[in-house]
């Protein structure tokens, strides 16, 4: 079965390092992702005739995820889904952050958002559930994050909604990134809700630097170093105190030193 690639979509070339599925299957999956974006452009339920005119005139661009993900000229949701679909078949790995090493559910989401939208979401599913705004089940649109209780606690699993009741996610150890159906009893019973993330809310809740560890290292180096003494080793000097108290402490230390010299 062949899928026509919608106009405007480009098919990314898979990395040589990641070979989880055959090229033909991956390209078909990418084409399917593009088709789903266009298919979901219209609402799942058509409005009644009486409300059609009012609803169309009252449409607010602020509720349109495409305009909120990135600049108007960018097909941000399409890029997001294509990036996600390009990782189909990558192995699940707990704590994984890259396709080469494997990805867990939140690592997969974070990688996709960073690569397609240049925004770093929080690292865990529970933290991601606090970003953006809540979306009802009947209002889901491609690009929304869908959450599940799979470990006995809320928001312990996350995926990306693709449209037509499908979502893409990294399931669990021993499985690969795949597309699943929200209507399956397993996912229906564990569904926790959805969030619509836009660039502004993501920036407020997440670090947008490419290397989060750099900022963490900078913060730790800026903090005063406590003195540490080990038997047989020289003590590491603590940072000098600041202000009036610091000046008094320095004077007291000097006076003690003079007294000790007098005793010798």
Domain ranges of the chain: 23-45+60-214
Closest C-alpha among 19, 167, 156, 177 to residue 103: 177
Residues annotated as catalytic are 105, 157, 169
Superfamily name with CATH number, domain 23-45+60-214:
endopeptidase domain like (from Nostoc punctiforme) (3.90.1720.10)
Contact 200, 191 (CB under 8 A): no
Q: Would you say the pTM of this structure is higher than 0.75?
A: no
Structural tokens at position 201: 């809310």
Residue 180 has, within 13 A of its CA and on its CB side, a CA count of 21
What residue ranges of the chain have pLDDT lower than 50?
A: 1-25, 27, 35, 37-74, 206-241, 260-264
Give me the pLDDT at residue 71, please: 39
Give me the pLDDT at residue 131, please: 93
Report H helices in the chain: 23-39, 49-57, 65-69, 76-85, 105-117, 125-128, 185-190, 199-205, 212-222, 243-263
SS3 call for 207: coil
Helices 23-39 & 76-85 angle (0-180, nearest 10): 150
Give me the pLDDT at residue 120, please: 87
Give me the pLDDT at residue 76, please: 86
């Amino acid at each position: 079965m062949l899928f026509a690639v919608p106009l405007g979509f480009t098919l990314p070339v898979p990395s040589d390092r990641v070979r989880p599925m055959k090229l033909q299957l991956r390209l078909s999956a990418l084409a399917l992702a593009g088709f789903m974006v266009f298919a979901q452009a219209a609402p799942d339920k058509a409005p009644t005739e009486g409300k059609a005119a009012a609803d169309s005139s009252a449409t607010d661009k602020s509720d349109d995820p495409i305009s909120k993900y990135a600049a108007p000229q960018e097909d941000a949701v399409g890029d997001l889904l294509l990036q996600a679909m390009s990782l189909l078949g990558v192995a699940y790995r707990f704590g994984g952050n890259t396709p080469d090493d494997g990805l867990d559910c939140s690592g997969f989401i974070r990688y996709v958002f960073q690569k397609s939208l240049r925004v770093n979401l929080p690292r865990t599913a529970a933290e991601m559930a606090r970003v953006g705004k809540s979306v009802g089940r009947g209002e889901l649109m491609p690009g929304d994050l869908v959450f599940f209780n799979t470990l006995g606690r809320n928001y312990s699993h996350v995926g990306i909604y693709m449209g037509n009741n499908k979502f893409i996610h990294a399931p669990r150890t021993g499985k690969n990134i795949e597309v699943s159906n929200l209507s399956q009893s397993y996912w229906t019973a564990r569904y926790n809700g959805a969030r619509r993330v836009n660039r502004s809310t993501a920036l407020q809740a997440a670090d947008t630097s490419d290397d989060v560890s750099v900022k963490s290292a900078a913060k730790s180096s800026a903090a005063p170093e406590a003195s540490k003494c080990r038997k047989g080793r020289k003590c590491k000097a603590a940072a000098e105190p600041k202000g009036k108290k610091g000046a008094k402490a320095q004077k007291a230390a000097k006076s003690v030193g003079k007294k000790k010299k007098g005793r010798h």
